[in-house]
Structure 1
Amino acid sequence: MRLALIFLIFLSCFLVRAQPMSTSKPWTYWWWMGSAVTKEDISAQLDFFKKSGLGGVHIIPIYGVKGYESKAIPFLSSKWMEMMQYTVSEGQRRGLGVDMTTGTGWPFGGPNVSTEMAAKNMSILNNSLQVVLTKQKVKRAAPGGEGFVLDPFHSTAMTGYLSRFDSAFADVKNKPRSMYMDSYEAYGANWTSDFTKQFKERRGYDLETELALLNDSTGKPFSELVKIDYQQTLSELLYERYALPWAKWSTKHRFLTRYQAHGSPGNLLDLYAASDIPETESFGTSRFPIPALRVDPDYSIDQFGTPNPLAMKFASSAAHFNGKKLVSSETGTWLANHFKVSLSQIKPQIDELFASGINHIFYHGINYSPEKEPYPGWLFYASTNFGKSSHFADQFQLLNEYVESCQALLQNSKPDNDVLVYFPIHDLWATKAKSSGNVHLLEVHHVDRWLLDLPFGKVSQKLWNEGYAFDYVSDLQLTQLSVDKNGSLNSGNSSYKTLLIPESSYMPMKTLNELKRLANAGAKIVFEKKVPTTVTGYAEHLRQQQQFSREINALTKQQTVKVSADLEKDLAANGVVRELRLAENGLTFIRKRTQNGALYFVTNLGNQFQEGWLQLGKADMVFKNDPMAGKSLLSHRPGKKGNEFFLSLLPGQSCFLQSGLDGARSPHLDNPKQEFEIKGKWQLTFLKGRPTLPHSSEMDQLQSWAELPDSSEYFSGTARYKIQFNLPDGMLRKDAFIQLDLGDVRETAKVTMNGKALGTVWSIPFRMNVNAELLKAKMNVLEIEVTNLSANYMRLRDKQAPEWKKFNDINIVDITYKKFDASKWKPMPSGLLGPVKLIYE
C-alpha cells in the first residue's frame, strides 16, 4: 500500500511537470523590459496565460524601465539564463511552450559584434567604391544586448555572433522550443569585406570595372544586367551566410527556428524555407468593408502601409512547398492606438491570415509587468495589449478558443493549391530600388514599393480575387520539383496542376533549363501573355542571349507549354479548379484537404454576401463547421455543374466547409425573415470599472454611456442594460429559428434572457442564436453586460497621473510615433448602441 501511494505521488508530480504543449492555441510575444523579472511574477503571468487559453510565449528582452535599472538582468548572464530556464520549466508544468529571440531587440547584433563584423554600406563616388560602417546599433536593445548590428553578408560574422550563445547554453537542460529571428532591418547594409571577390567568382567578372553601369540612372545598355548581378550576389550571400548558419546552429542545439525573412534583399521564398516555422507579419489595419468595423483614423497608411495577403503568402508558400506543418505570424501590431483596440477589430485580421495560409498565431503582444505595478502597468510602445491589464482580459479566452478551433483544423490538413506561380525576382532587381543603400527590401509593410506594381503582383492579385488556389515558387525551389504521370508538379510535399510564369522580361539560364526539364517530363507550364526576352548575367551576355532565345522559343513549341492570351481558359484546360462562386460573392478562402476530403476556411471580409446558394469545386456534400456555433449539414440542391449549397455567412463571420455528412441539418427555411426591435425603458447599472462607478440611469433610446452625465465619459469597465419586453403576436413558435442581434456593441456583451445565460458576443456581427422555448409571450427580461475600452479612462489618467510613462528608449508613443498623450482624446462611444432586434423565420 505504501509503495502504491509513493508511486501515485511520483506519477502526479510527473503529470504536473509534463503537460503537453499546444500549437493549435495562439501564442504571444512577451517582452521583458530590461529583463527585470522575478520568478514570482513570471509564475503569476504564466498562470494568466494558461487561464486565458494561450499555448506559449516568445521571450524578447528589450529596453528597461526608469527606476528599475538596479533590477535589470544582463542578457545571457547566469542570472538571465536562470530566469529563462525557470520560465521554460514552469511553462512545461502548465503546458505552455517557450520561444526566444537569438538576441535582444532587433535585428541581430550586440556587444560581441566588432567593427569588422558590423554592417557596412557601399556607395559609388567618382566611379570608385566608398565603404563605411552603417553605424546602426541594435534597435530597442536590452541591457547586455547593446552593440553594432551584424553584417548579414559576412563570411563568419554569424558564427562569431552565435559564439556567446554557445557559451550561454553549454550546460542548459531546460531549453526553449524555438529560436527566433526578427524581420531584416539592417538599413543601408549592402556590402561586405569580400564582396568583390565573391561577386567575381559567382558572376564571372570584376564589379569594380563596371561601377558606371551599376550606378547608372540614365538607362545605359546592360546597366540592368549589372544591377541584377549585384542584387543576386547580395541575395545569395544573405541566404548562405546569414539564414543557413543560424538555422544549422539552431538545429545542432536542438532548437526549432522561426524566421521573419521579410524586409530583406533576398528571395523571401528561399529564406522563409530555411526555417522550421516561416513567419510573416500583420502590421496595421486592413480596410475591410465590414459594416461597423472601425479603423483608427490616426493610423497612417503612408507611414506603414496595410496588411496584404499577397505578402503573407510568401511565408505560407514556403511552408506548403517544403512540407512545414506550422507557419506563423506576428499578429496585431498597431491595429489602433493604445487602449483603443477591440476584439472585434482583431478577428478579421486573424481571419485574413488564416485565409493566407497562416496557422500559428503569435499575438503582438504582452509586456511583462510586475504584479504589484499600478494600472496600466508596463506597456510596449507599439503593440496591441493582450495582457492582464487589457480592457478585454476577461474576454480574451473567447478569442483564443476561436483561434484554437481554427488552427486545430488548419494545422492538421494539407494544402490543396492547383497553381504554382513563379516569382520573377530578377525583374524587380532590374528596377530602381526604393530603399536605403539602393537595394530592394522586400517588406510586408509597403508592398506597393516592390510587389503590387510588378506583373507578378498583378497576376497574383487576379488569381486571389478570382478564386484560384495558388502558391509561389522561386528559381531555387524549381530544382526540387518532379513530375508525375498525370503531368502534375510535385515538390515532395505538395502537388500542383500547373506552373504559371507571370509576364516578365528577365530569366536566368538555370531557370530556363529547369523549365525544359519539367516540360520534357510532361509538366503543364503556362506563360502569361509572353515569354521572358532577356537572359540574366552581364558576363558573356551576347552568347548567352542567343542560346536563351533559341531554347525558350523551342520550349514554347512543346505540347504541354502554352503562351496564354486567355489565362482562365488555359488554366482550366490544365485541370485547375476555380472557386468562382466564392470569389464572385466576395468571400475569402483557403482550400485544404484531409483524409475525409476537401476542407475550406471561408471568411466574409466584405459587405457583399449574406446568404445564398454556392458551389464548391472540390466537394459534393458539405457540412458547415462554425467555430463559434458548432456543426450543421448545409441544405443542398442539384446545380448545372454539381451540387449547390445554401450558406449563411454575414459580413465579419467565418466558418469551415468540409466534405461529409456530419452534423444536424442547417436551419435554412423558406419563410421570409422578420425583425422585431426591442424597445422600451432600458435600465443601466454600472457594475465594475474605473475610476468610479457612475450612477444608475434609465434611457428610452440606447446611446453611448460616454454621453451621460456623472463622469461617465471617463468610465472604463462593465455596465448592465436591462429591459422587459413582450413578443408580437405570432412570433412565439417552438419551431422558429431566432437570433438576437445587438447591433452596435462597444465592445463585448454578455447576454442573459429570462435568467438563462446565452453567452458573450465579442465580434462582428454581434448576434447569437436564441432557443425559441426560452422566450415567453409576455414579460421577457433581457440583460446585457457590456464592457468598453480603456481609452476613456486613460483620457483622465493622462490628465491627472501620467507618471506611468516611464520607459527608456522610445518610452511610449502613439500610433504615429509621436509622444503619447491621451488627455486630448475625445470620448469614445461606449456601451450598447443597438438597435437590439430579434430576427426570426
Structure 2
Amino acid sequence: MVTTRIRKKAILFLLLSGFAFVRPFSQPLTAQPLNTAKPWTYWWWMGSAVTREGITYQLEQFAKAGLGGVHIIPIYGVKGYENQFKPFLGPEWLAHFQFTVQEAKRLRLGVDLTTGTGWPFGGPNVTPAMGAKQWKLVDGKLTSVPTRQQVKRPAPGGAGLVVDPFDKQAVRQYLTRFDSTLIPLAEKPRAMYNDSYEIYGANWTDQFLPEFRKRRGYDLNSQQAAFLDTTMAEASVRVRQDYYQTIAELLLDQFTTTWTGWARQNGYLTRNQAHGSPGNLLDLYALADIPETESFGTSKFPIPGLRVDPDYEPDRFGNPSVLAMKLASSPAHLLGKPLVSSETTTWLANHFKVSLSQIKPQIDELFTAGINHIFYHGTTYSPPGEAWPGWLFYASTNYSPSTHFWNEYPALNAYVERSQARLQASRPDNDLLVYFPMQDIWALPGKSQGGIQQLDVHHVERWLSPQPFGKLCEQLRQQGFTFDAVSDAQLTGLRAVNGRILSKGSSYRVIVVPDCRYMPEGTMQQLARLAGQGATIVFEKNLPQQAPGFRDAARRNALVKTMAQALAKRPGVRVAADVPATLTGLKVLPEALGANGLSFIRKKADDAALYFVANLNNRFTEGWVPINRPVSQRFDPLTNKTEMLITRKTPDRSDEVWLRLLPGQSCFLSSLVSTDAWGTPEILPKVQKTTTFRPLIQLSGPWSLSFGAGRPALSGTRSLAQLTSWPALGDSAVYFSGKAMYTTTFDLPAAPQAKTIYRLDLGDVRETARVWINGHDAGLAWSIPFELEIPAGWLKQTGNQLKIEVTNLSANYMRLRDKQQPAWKKFYDINIVDITYKPFDAARWEPMPSGLLGPVRVLANE
C-alpha cells in the first residue's frame, strides 16, 4: 500500500513538473520529450519559405517565452519570396521539417503537423473520382456529382481537390502520399491533425445508395419524394433521419477511423476537430487521442473593464460556447483520455488590437469546460531580418515575436502552464451524464450548405442552444451541477456498480435524459440494462415515445413505448418536470459556485478534491461559499502563491470557504497540503480572518511621464496633473506604441501595520503595467483586475515612491505605418484582412486608449 501511494505521488510529480503526460497508448521511440503543461501554438509556414537559421531562431524564442510546442501548418506564400518556396512533401520541405523536429527536441519542444496543407484534407493526388461529392437529381434519380471544392489556403505543393470524406478508398489513397514521404523520416512529429469540417456542400458519395440500403434496409430512391420534401412531414423527417444516420456512419467509418488508424499504425497520435461535421460529435471526438475544440471570436463576459472589438460581428461569426467545448471534453472524460486541446483565440479581435487581458478570460472559459491543452492561434514563421510587423496570418491573434505583448508573453504562458499542470494531473469529478439526443437534432431542417446538419461551434444557437438538451445543460451549468455528455454508442461502454455509473475513465451518479421525442431501440435497451444494474436515470418531463427512422416505424414506435413504460417502473428511474429539484432530492447537489455566477470545473487528484474557479461574471466579489468537497488551500496560478483557506461548518455540517475572487480572477481550490507534487509555489502565512479590502487612499498625482522604447521614438518627460490617455497628449503620442514610465510619490494616512494586507489597484490599464514600490519589484499586472499585492514592509507613512512602466497596443502605430508603408501586406491568397474579412486598412482606425488611466488606489484589508 505504501509503495503504491509513493508510486502515485511520483507520477503526479512528473506530470506537474511538465515531464510529458502518461499515455495509455504507444508513442514513437523517436518522439521528443514533451511538456504539455506549457501552451503550444499553431505555426504557419507561409509558402514553406523557411530556412534552418530562421527555424532555429524562432524555436529558441518560443522556448524562451515558455511555449511547449508548435503545430506546423503549411499555407499560402509571400510575394517576392517565390524562389524560396518549398513544395509540400518535396525533398527540400522534408529536410527542413526533419531539421525542425530535431531542433525542437533539443529545445524540449513538441511538434504536431496537419495531414496536408491549409484545410480540409486534399491536394494534387486527389483525382476527380476521389473528390468530394453531392447529390443531384438526374433523370429522376439521386445521382453523385462532384462539388469541385479545392483545398482552402493551400501551400505550394498542396493545392488540389478536397477528398471525399465518405469514401474509405479515396481517403486511404489520399494518405498514400505521406507513406513514401513523411513516414520514412527518422524524426517524427508527435501528432497528426485534422481541422474542423469545412467541406462545403458535400452530402453524398458514389456508393451512398448501396451503403444506405445496407445500413437502413430500403432503397432511398423509393422514398425520394419524402427525402426531397421540405414541409417537415413525418415521413420526410424519418427518411431524413436515416439519411443523416448514414452520412454520420460513413464519416465515422470511412474517414475518421481510416485516418486515425493510419496515424496510429505509423506512430502518431491524432488531434481532431470534429465540430462542423454532419455526424455525432461525441463519437467523432472519441476516436481522437486528443479531441480538439475551438474558441473563435469573443465570449460575452460581463467583466467590468473587459472590452470587445466593436468590429466583431457575432451575428455573422457567433460566440464561443461552453457547451460546444464540453462536447469535446466529455468523450475524453468518459474514456480516460488525458488531454483535450483547443484552437484558442481565433479572431479574438483585429490584428494589433488584442491584449493579454482579453486572452485570459477566454482561456479560463476553456479550462472550466474541461480543456487542458491550449494551442494559441497563433504564430507565423517570419524571417529573422524581416521588417516589422513581419509575416502575419490573416485570422489569428498574433502570438509571434512581433506582437506588442511579446515581452509580457511569458507571464501568460506561466499562468497557463501552472494551470494546465494541475488540470492534466487530475481526473474529472462530475456527477451527471447527460444524454445527447442526436436523432432529435436530425429531425430539424438542415441549415448548412447542401441542406445538411453541420454541428459547428460558431453558431450553436442554430442547432443546439434552443433544443431541450441545450436548455437543460445551460440550466444545470448555471446552477452548479457538474456533467458530461454521452452519446447513444457510448452508453454501451457503461456499467453500474453500487449505484455508481462507471466508464473507462470516470464515474457518475445519475444519467439525465433531456426531453426528447426520438430514441433508438438500442439506446432504450442500454438504459434498461443500466437501470437493472442499479443506475439512477432521470428523464426530463416525458419518456421518449418514438423510434427514429422510416422503415417499420409503427412497430418500432410501439416497441419504444413499451420499453419506456417498463423502464419507468424501475426503482432508480424518475420522470421529472423539474430536473434540478429532482437531482437535489436524490442528494445530487449542485455546487454553490454556480449559483454565485462563478464558472468552475471539479476534479480529483490522487483522491483529493481540486477545483478550478474563474469569475467570468459580475455577480460575485467575496463572501462565504458552500463547497461540496472539503478543501483547505487556494492556489493562485497568476502569482504562483498558495494560501490556506478560511473554512467553517454550517449548522447542517456542510463546508463553506471564504472566497475573494473579483471579476476576471481565477484560482484553484484543493484539499491537498502543498507538496512537491504541486510544484514549488510560495506558501503564504495562514490568514486568521476574512479579508475584505477597502480603499485607503487614491493617488491624485502629479505624475511624471517619460516615453521609452517604442515607435515612433519620443523623448522628454511630461508632467501630468491627472492621468490621461496618450493620444490626448497630442503630437506623435497619438501614434506611439511601446513603453512609458509613470512616477509619483504618495503618503499613507497612518503608519503601515505589519498585520495589514495592502494591495495596489491600478484601475484601467492599457495594456500591461510593471510596478516598483520604493525600489521593490511588485510584479507585472496584465489581466483584469489590475491589482498587485504590496507587502507591508515595503511601505512607509510618507514619501513612498511609485514607478509604473506601461506597455500599450501596437494599433496606434499601425495607423501610421499602414498609411506610410502599406507594402507589408504582400501575401498570396486572402492576403491580410480585418475581422470583417475586408481588406486590412489600419489607417482608418480611431486611436486606441493607451497608458495608465486609473484611478490608482491603495487598498487595505479590514
TM-score range, shorter chain: over 0.9
Q: Contact conserved, 1:694 with 1:711, CA < 8 A, in 2?
A: no
The aligned counterpart of 2:737 is: 716
1:540 Cα shift? 1.4
Instruction: Give the distance between the partners of 1:402 and 1:551, measured in 2 at CA.
Output: 51
Equivalent residue for 2:797, pick from 777, 788, 793: 777
In the alignment, residue 503 of structure 1 is paired with which amino acid? D
Please give the root-mean-square deviation of Cα atoms over the aligned residues, in Å. 1.4
Are residues 779 and 716 of structure 1, via their aligned partners in 2, closer, same or farther at CA, if it must alter by over 3 Å? same
Q: Would the aligned equivalents of 1:227 and 1:430 in 2 still touch at CA under 8 Å?
A: yes
Counterpart pick for 1:561 among 566, 573, 577 = 573
Aligned to 2:371: 358
Residue equivalent to 1:5: none
Q: 1:667 to 1:52 in 2, by over 3 A?
A: farther
Give me the whole-angstrom Cα distance separating, in 2, the residues matched to 1:574 and 1:492: 25
Counterpart amino acid of 1:705? W
Is the 1:745–1:834 contact (alpha carbons within 8 Å) kept by the matching residues of 2? yes
2:289 aligned with 1:276, yes or no? Answer: yes
Equivalent pair of 2:646/2:690 in contact (CA under 8 Å):
no
Residue aligning to 1:517: 529
Cα separation, 1, equivalents of 2:268 and 2:642: 38
1:740 to 2:760 alignment: yes
% identical equivalent positions: 55
Partner of 2:52: 39
The one of 558, 563, 577 equivalent to 2:589 is: 577
Q: Equivalent of 2:701, from 670, 680, 688?
A: 680
3-state SS, counterpart of residue 106 of structure 1: coil
1:831 matched to 2:855? The reply is no
* CA positional deviation for 1:539: 1.1
1:14 paired residue number: none
Query: Which residues of 2 match residues 246-645 of structure 1 at below 5 A?
Result: 246-484=259-497, 486-579=498-591, 581-619=592-630, 621-629=631-639, 630-641=641-652, 642-645=654-657
> CA separation of 1:355/1:254 partners in 2, compared to 1, >3 Å: closer, same or farther?
same
Q: Any idea what the Cα deviations from partners look like across 1:374-422, whole Å, max 9, x if unmatched? A: 0000000010000100000000000000000000000000000110000
User: 2: CA distance between counterparts of 1:585 and 1:491?
Assistant: 31
Unmatched tracts of structure 2, length 5 or more: 1-29, 675-682
In the other structure, the counterpart of 2:244 is 231
* CA shift for structure 1 position 725: 1.6
Q: Aligned residue for 2:776?
A: 756
1:186-213 CA-partner distances (Å, limit 9, x unpaired) = 0100000010000001001000010110
- 1:731 Cα shift? 4.8
Structure 2 letter corresponding to 1:479: T
Structure 2 CA distance, aligned partners of 1:346 and 1:170?
37
Give the 3 Å change call, closer, same or farther, for CA 562–333 of structure 1 in structure 2: same
Amino acid corresponding to residue 397 of structure 2 in structure 1? T
Aligned to 1:10: none
- Give the letter aligned to residue 459 of structure 1: L
SS of residue matched to 1:711: helix
Offset at residue 693 of structure 1 (A): 1.6
* SS of residue matched to 1:51: helix
Cα distance, 1:675 vs. partner? 2.5
Residue 169 of structure 1 deviates from its aligned partner by 2.4
Conserved? CA contact 2:519–2:560, under 8 Å: no
Q: CA deviation at 1:558?
A: 1.1
Cα deviation, residue 125, structure 1: 6.9
Moved more, 275-284 or 642-651: 642-651
Residue number in structure 2 paired with 1:699: 720
Contact 2:54 2:384 in 1 (8 A): yes
Moved more, 567-576 or 827-836: 567-576
What amino acid is the match of 2:564? I
SS at match of 1:86: helix
Could you tell me which of 220, 224, 238 is aligned with 1:207? 220
Measured in 2, the distance between the counterparts of 1:640 and 1:425 equals: 45
Residues 107-137 of structure 1: CA deviation (Å, up to 9, x unaligned): 0000011111100111447853243211110
Residue type of the alignment partner of 2:614: T
TM-score by length of 2: 0.94
Between 213-222 and 466-475, report the one with greater CA deviation: 213-222
What is the CA-CA distance between 1:566 and the residue it aligns to? 2.7
- Distance in 1, Cα, partners of 2:513 & 2:300: 30
Q: 1:821 to 1:672 in 2, by over 3 A?
A: closer
AA partner of residue 607 (structure 1) = N
1:788 matched residue in structure 2: 808
Secondary structure at 1:186 match in 2: coil
Residue 5 of structure 2 is matched in structure 1 by: none
Q: Does 305-314 or 123-132 show the bigger shift?
A: 123-132
Q: Which amino acid aligns with 2:780?
A: T
Structure 2 CA distance, aligned partners of 1:363 and 1:640?
Answer: 47
1:766-814 Cα shifts (integer Å, max 9, x gaps): 0010011111122111000000000000000011000000000000000
> Structure 1 residues 731, 443: closer, same or farther in 2, change over 3 A?
farther
Residue 572 of structure 1 and its aligned partner are, at CA, apart by 2.8
Secondary structure of residue in 2 paired with 1:615 = strand
The number of aligned residues is 821
For the pair 1:658 / 2:670, whether they are aligned, the reply is yes
Asked if 2 retains the 8 angstrom alpha-carbon contact of 1:736 and 1:772, the reply is: yes
Q: What is the DSSP-based 3-state SS (H/G/I as helix, E as strand, rest coil) of the residue aligned with 2:434?
A: strand
What secondary structure sits across from 2:58 in the alignment?
helix
More displaced 10-residue stretch of structure 1: 168-177 or 402-411: 168-177
CA contact (8 A) 2:32 2:110 kept: no
1:171 Cα deviation (Å)? 2.3
Q: Which amino acid aligns with 1:191?
A: W
Between the aligned partners of 1:671 and 1:572, the Cα distance in structure 2 is: 32
User: Which amino acid letter does the alignment assign opposite residue 626 of structure 1?
Assistant: D
Query: In structure 2, what is the Cα distance between the partners aligned to 1:363 and 1:276?
Result: 19
CA displacement 1:554-598 (0-9 Å, x = unmatched): 11111111111231232234442310x211211000000112511
* Change in CA separation of 1:19 and 1:549 when aligned onto 2, cut-off 3 Å: closer
Tell me, in whole angstroms, the C-alpha distance in 1 between the residues paired with 2:232 and 2:427.
46
Q: Is 2:144 the partner of 1:144? A: no
Deviates more, 1:261-270 or 1:592-601: 592-601
**Counterpart Cα distance in 1 of 2:595 and 2:672:** 25
1:674 to partner: Cα distance: 3.5
Alpha-carbon displacement from aligned partner over 1:663-702 (angstroms, at most 9, x marks no partner): 5323744777243111221000011001222432110100
Give deviations 1:703-737, integer Å, cap 9, x for gaps: 01111122100000000000012221x25212210
* Equivalent pair of 1:535/1:544 in contact (CA under 8 Å): yes
Distance 2:515 2:588 in 1: 19
The alpha-carbon deviation at position 18 of structure 1 amounts to: 9.7
* Alpha-carbon distance between aligned partners in 2 of 1:339 and 1:666, rounded to the nearest angstrom: 42
Contact 2:71-2:113 at 8 Å conserved across structures = yes
